[in-house]
Structure formats: C-alpha cells, structure tokens
Amino acid sequence: MSYFLYHSIGTFAGKEAAVTRAVSDFTCHWCAEDDGQWPDAMTRRGAFIASWQRLIGAPAGSLTLAESVTGALYALMRGLPEQRLAGGVVLVAQDCFPSLHFLLAELARRIGFTLRTVAPPQGRAYVSDDDFLAAWGQDVRLALITWVTSTASHMADLDRLLDHGRRMGTLVGVDITQGVGIRPYAARADFTVGSSLKWLCGVPGAGVLQVMPDLLAECQPEFRGWFSQANPFSWDLDGFAFAPDARRFDNGTPNVLPAIASQPGLDHVLQTGVAVLGAHNRHLTGLLAQGAADLGLSLASPAEADRRGGSLMLHLPGNAAAVVDELRRRGIYTDARGSVLRLSPGSVTTADQCHDLLGALKQLAA
C-alpha cells in the first residue's frame, strides 16, 4: 500500500494501536465505578491543549478546543465586538477552505460587513501573496489567511502578510490546517484556527482556536455556557463571568474524546519533530515534481519548493477520477479535485512508492 493522503486524514506507523490504547485507557477510567472520571478527562484535555500550544509556540491560556475549524472561526467572529467588523471589509482568498467562506458569507449578512473574496488570475490555481495584498487596504477590518491551500499547496509568506496587516491596522487570522505538523508555524497572528487531522494524524472533532491575549480580553463569545465561566461550578444565574483565558470560548460540557483520540498523532509529530518530518516530505515531493516534469505533467502547485506546503498537485489531461480509481486498484491511495491530482507523501511514504506512483501515471498516459 502507498499512502499519499496526508492532506486528508494522515497516518503514522503504529497509529491504530496507539489510538486504540489511548481510547481504551480513557474508557477504563470513564467506566470505573468511582468519582475520578472528570478529573481524568480534564487532565487528558489539558494535555492535548498543552501539546498544541507547544507545537505552535502559543502563549499559555490562549488556546482551546473547537469541534471544527469552521466552529473555531465562528466562535471567534461572534466573540468580537460587532463594531470591530460592521461597516468594514473582511478579506479572504477564493482558495480558502469552502466551509469558511460559507460561514463568512452568512456572517457578512448578519453583522453588516462586506466580504471581499480574492480570486486567482486566469490560468493559475492559487491566490498569490501579491494578489491578496493588492486587495488589502485600510478598509479591511479582518483578513483570514489560508497558510497552505488544500487545492494547490500554495504556502503564504506569513511574515510579509502579517507585517502588512499591522501597517493596515487589520485583525489577522490564519487557518493552518494544511500546513501544521509538516512545516514550522509560530503563533504570531491575532488568532489561529486549525485541525488535528491531516499532517497531525488525528481524528475529526479536535479543532483548535488560539487567540492572542490582547484580543482575547476584548472577546465576549455569543455561544457560551457553564464551561465558559471563570468558575464553571458557579450556578449564580445573574453572576456569569467569562474565564480570563481561552476557555471563555468554550460553552457546554466539553467533548473530550476527539482530543484523546488525536493525542497519539500529536505525540508522533512532537517526538519525531516537524523538521525531520518536513525534510522527508520535501525529498519525496521533489522526486514527484521532477517525475511529473519528465512525464510532461504541469503543476497546479507553485514550482518553487519553498512556496509549497507538504502536498504536490498535478494537472491531469484526462479523467482524474478514473486515474484515482486505477491507482487505488494498484494499492496507491490519492485523490483529486476536478482535474487536479493531489499527492501528499508523509512519514509512512517511501521514495520507492513515489517511483511506483510515477510509473503508474506513465502507464496510464500511454
């Protein structure tokens, strides 16, 4: 089997056994006939949050869980004072994850901001930094940057974009889902949203929201509950007070199981090291890029390796879905978006498997 799907789920050697152990251990504690269930669950949740904070260098207390990246963005947007956005512009690229655009379009109607969506020029599969900056003036109240795109693996120059955001006085958020765990990321934006899937090899439901302390202090989330409070066990109905840290973005009883099942993937990345995983990935994507050029296939991704995330996307001349089906029949797992074949080699992928994939593509093109 050859696995090229780290842009989707992600895996590592021994994943099934590691996740099974984590969930089974939690099950033993949760099902015990004693009073230790919630202390144990909260300890595990705290360990997950601490791992994420370590991974992205986030300040203590600035990160919490969300069901999804979309849920994390919603919590942040509906936690901001409405005057921050009303009457202004929110900027996003057309190649953001579509779910986020669906959300922003509705929030534009409800809050009263203009959603400005930057499209790539004809013939290019991604929005470049120059494209994005050309649409980013002082009227932009909030800019949402997709660090690495899911359709082209274009990797934004965050230093350049964040510097521009500071000059414009813009709140800046970054969706790091497709890059975290395979490229180094340090939390510097006003807020960061992400997922424990993809290169972090986790499970659905373990999204995160990270908010810098200055912005955090301004936020009063609309979706709140007992766990948003400074003291979750306060039943004073008229004395609600937000937690001083990112827990203010929590709401009802926390869902701990996705975090527990995703912890082994985080441990794998932290113990192996993003630099080691990234070096292996860059070697393999380099082989794929050269092989694609030899086959006469054009890249949907940037040609420059330092402008790509961990994936490589190829334009196929024929039926991409049929190619994916035939590769699957041969035990090579990929996927496609339209006519673009998406390839993401990771820690379980080998150079020989990359050559096998290229050989299969050559045969299919004959």
Q: What is the pLDDT of residues 55-65, one digit of tens each?
A: 999 999 999 99
pLDDT at residue 358 above 80?
Answer: yes
**What single-letter amino acid sits at 321?**
A
Number of helices (H) and strands (E) in the chain: give both, helices first: 11, 12
Q: How confident is the model at residue 365 (pLDDT cuts 50, 70, 90)?
A: confident
Q: How confident is the model at residue 6 (pLDDT cuts 50, 70, 90)?
A: very high
pLDDT in tens, 161-194: 999 999 999 999 999 999 999 999 999 999 999 9
Q: Which CATH class is domain 2-12+273-365?
A: alpha beta
Which sequence spans correspond to the domains of the chain?
2-12+273-365, 15-270
| Whether the domain at 2-12+273-365 and the domain at 15-270 fall into the same CATH topology | no
pLDDT in the model for residue 227: 96
Average pLDDT over residues 334-353: 97
Cα 64–chain centre separation: 14
pLDDT in tens, 78-107: 999 999 999 999 999 999 999 999 999 999
Cβ atoms within 10 A of the Cβ of 281, count?
25
pLDDT at residue 122 above 90?
Answer: yes
**Cβ-contact 229, 241 below 8 angstroms:** yes
pLDDT in the model for residue 337: 94
pLDDT in tens, 282-339: 999 999 999 999 999 999 999 999 999 999 999 999 889 999 999 999 999 999 999 9
pLDDT in tens, 124-168: 999 999 999 999 999 999 999 999 999 999 999 999 999 999 999
Give me the percent of the chain exceeding a pLDDT of 70: 100
pLDDT in the model for residue 139: 98
Helix (H, G, I), strand (E, B) or coil at 92: strand
How high does pLDDT run on average in the chain?
Answer: 97
Give the list of residues 6+ apart from residue 345 with CB closer than 8 angstroms, or none: 3, 4, 6, 281, 284, 285, 288, 310, 353, 354
Tell me whether strands 340-343 and 312-315 are parallel, antiparallel or unpaired: antiparallel
**Cβ-contact 278, 183 below 8 angstroms:** yes
CATH architecture of 15-270: 3-Layer(aba) Sandwich (3.40)
pLDDT at residue 366 above 80?
Answer: no
pLDDT in the model for residue 155: 98
- Taking alpha carbons only, the member of 158, 165, 147, 142 closest to residue 76 is 142
pLDDT in the model for residue 22: 98
Average pLDDT over residues 251-273: 97
**What is the dihedral angle through the alpha carbons of 139, 144, 145, 151, rounded to the nearest 10 degrees?**
-120
